[in-house]
Amino acid sequence: MAQTPLAATTVLDLSQGVAGPTAATLLADFGADVISVEPPGGATERRLAEGSAFPNVSRDKRSIVIDLKSDDGTDVLHRLVEDADALIHNNRPGKMTDLGCDYETLAEINPELVYCSVTGYGEDGPYRDRPGIDPLAQAISGMMWTTGEPDRKPSRIGVPTIDSGTGTYAAFSMVLGLWHARETGIGQKIETSLFDTAATYLGNWYTQYSMTGEVPQRQGHAWDGYAPSGVFETGTDPIYLATPFQGLWERFTHAIDRNDWVDDPRFESNEKRLENREELTAELEDEFRSFDREELLAQLVAAGVPAAELQTVEQAAHDEHLHERGTLRHVTDVDGSVVIATGPPVKFSETPGTVDDVAPELGEHTSTVLTEFGFDASTIERLMDENVVNSP
């Protein structure tokens, strides 16, 4: 098997939460030696959602603990930067300068360093000093306005989609920066932000508004552009069905042996189906009550109709497809318990990502990493005694 793409790449991960750690985890999946530089007490992802975030955003990393609020701690990080290829953090604008770890300072130490910041709103602009987290980005971008049922308050998307997306953009950008540095010997600073990611996701909505002058409204589980679409009850469990084109509508009617609907003047075109959506939904669900969900889906999928199970988290966590592909897997958590967690989300034919190790204990690799970076035993002992660095 070919060498993993990011082998011999060292990344210092100073980030906490979800977005930054997600980026560093993606790099670790493909061979980077990611050193999680945690503060005393540990990074926040160890505690987020009862610790459930940690196995998903910290796999295959090594953990060291450095008190960057101390001068000696800053000196330790500077030593690590000398031989690192990349660094990622998610401190607010100005904080890294206060710590003596801003890009300009670190680039003097290592001109080839790829330095990535993850912030709420970016490092310039009128919102730069605002605190930023995933739901705020959903709210201010308009994403929340478009989510939920039309007769209720706007709704937050339940998972941290903006955190995850920003982490993906950050990882992609860092790979480009690493490629450039190896070609030219010149590093660079990369900025990502939650607001920029959310706005990028909303691009088609902004364009639609600018073209038509109409503000997109909440549509709930359905879609205003075509019918049928949305969640439908069956004789057992619900499904999601979508027929965005007339040909798919006709294919759907054939699949459930309701060819009469094709010529029904209420449903003969998408425009008519939208006008008569309530009647259509009532007739669909009346028809579906005679079906077991698995039976109905088998017919629809065989006919090439876009439909899927509406699964609970419990059901999806045990989905055989996700486990067979390695997207979900059973791993051992830091406390020794076996949990379900994610693996690399993309598949490569020649250089696949791997999960070789579980998320680390806090400071598990402090002594090992410092030794690798040239610290002698007496210096490490002194730093430990002074609580500049820590290990279990």
Which active-site residues does the annotation give? 163
Pairwise CA distance, residues 190 & 93, whole Å: 13
Asked whether 181 and 114 are in contact (CB, 8 A), the reply is: yes
Pairwise CA distance, residues 49 & 45, whole Å: 8
Asked whether 116 and 167 are in contact (CB, 8 A), the reply is: no
Pairwise CA distance, residues 53 & 47, whole Å: 8
Which DSSP helix (H) or strand (E) runs through 328?
A: strand 328-332
For 203, what's the count of Cα atoms within 13 Å in the CB-facing half-sphere?
4
CA 235-240-242 angle, to 5 degrees, is: 125
Which DSSP helix (H) or strand (E) runs through 190?
A: strand 188-193
Which DSSP helix (H) or strand (E) runs through 88?
A: strand 86-89
